[in-house]
Structure 1
Amino acid sequence: MSEHDLVIERRMAVPRAAVWRAWRDHATEWFCPLPWKAPEVEYDLRPGGRSHVRMVGPEGEDMVLTGVVLEAVEGERVVTTDAFAPGWVPQTPFMIAITEFLVDGDGTLYRATARHWTEEAKAQHEAMGFHEGWGTVAGQLEAVAKRLHEGGGA
């Protein structure tokens, strides 16, 4: 762990395959805390692949986050950054996101890490509500994974 990391961990009572499927295939359902929505969530899960998220707020706010995938291990780990746009074009960095799906008995330990370049960026992200927001998102992800695991969704 880096000194500039913010981390959310949650044990989910659902198998890793279901959590991974929810993360990979149903991100528009869980990606940001309600009432925000994420109508566009795309990950080209290969090193150098595009990561793109568009979030829309309840008062018409529109936020686009575009970067690249640094690492992708099917069902286990995805690392993205906003330090580059697709094609390795440098842009002003904010963080590296590390998402891990670890087998934990009959469930999953989900770990989401936001790694920042500076203490200031870490503090800014924390002040934006990192723990509450990313914690809410983890709960929403778990709910989608449970629904998928129980056969209630594609």
Structure 2
Amino acid sequence: MTDESFDLSITRLIDAPLEAVWRAWVDHTAEWYCPEPWRAEIVERDLRPGGHSSMIFHGPDGEAMPVEGVFLEVLPQRRIVATDAFAAGWAPRQPFLVRIDAFAPEGGGTRYTATARHWTAIARDQHIAMGFDTGWNTATDQLAAVARRLTVRH
């Protein structure tokens, strides 16, 4: 059983169909995943249960923050669950979170929920101090903009 008091979550009704939001998340991650002026560089992405993910977050002043993990669950157009608790080859790492992205059609749009599930209250509080609310809401704004752009194209 999980202690949901360690969760941080945002939810948003995105004005774009489920297919566009999913495509934005899966195929255009580098365009939205980091709040600007940061950007995400996708190094490796194997979007399947057990698949490895490796990115580098680049900051405006030359910062480079590697982010690595594995996908635990991928249910197309429904949910993606990933964790940073493992590196490539299932090498254990000091875990920070499990990320859960959920997608559901609602009206003509998509109900998107992103949850950061932490192992401890300390990790949750560190994430709050890092700017979880502003950062994840800004990234979600960027995701919504990409999804709307993809909707206009088709």
Common fold by TM > 0.5 = yes
Write the deviation string for residues 34-57 of structure 1: whole angstroms up to 9, x where unpaired: 111112264312111001221100
Aligned-partner Cα distance in 2 for 1:95–1:131: 15
Structure 2 length-normalised TM? 0.95
Counterpart pick for 1:34 among 36, 46, 50: 36
**Greater helix fraction, Structure 1 or Structure 2:** 2
Q: Is contact 1:28-1:41 (8 Å) kept?
A: no
The 5 A counterparts of 1:20-59 are 20-40=22-42, 42-59=44-61
3-state SS in 2 of match to 1:60: coil
Q: Size of the alignment, in residue pairs? A: 152
Letter in 2 for 1:121: A
- Counterpart in 1 of 2:21? 19
Aligned-partner Cα distance in 2 for 1:105–1:37: 32
Aligned-partner Cα distance in 2 for 1:136–1:55: 15
Letter in 2 for 1:104: E
Aligned-partner Cα distance in 1 for 2:31–2:90: 29
Unaligned runs of 5+ in 1: none
Q: Is contact 1:43-1:69 (8 Å) kept?
A: no
Is 1:93 equivalent to 2:95 in the alignment?
Answer: yes
Aligned-partner Cα distance in 1 for 2:116–2:127: 9
Aligned-partner Cα distance in 2 for 1:46–1:64: 21
- Counterpart in 2 of 1:122? 124
Letter in 2 for 1:137: A
Structure 1 length-normalised TM? 0.95
Deviation at 1:93, TM superposition (A): 0.3
Q: Is contact 1:51-1:68 (8 Å) kept?
A: yes
Unaligned runs of 5+ in 2: none
Aligned-partner Cα distance in 2 for 1:13–1:38: 24
Letter in 2 for 1:133: G
Q: CA RMSD in A?
A: 1.3
Is 1:76 equivalent to 2:60 in the alignment?
Answer: no
Change (3 A) 1:144 1:103: same
Percent identity for Structure 1 against Structure 2? 53
Moved more, 39-48 or 77-86: 39-48
3-state SS in 1 of match to 2:34: coil
Letter in 1 for 2:53: S
3-state SS in 2 of match to 1:14: coil
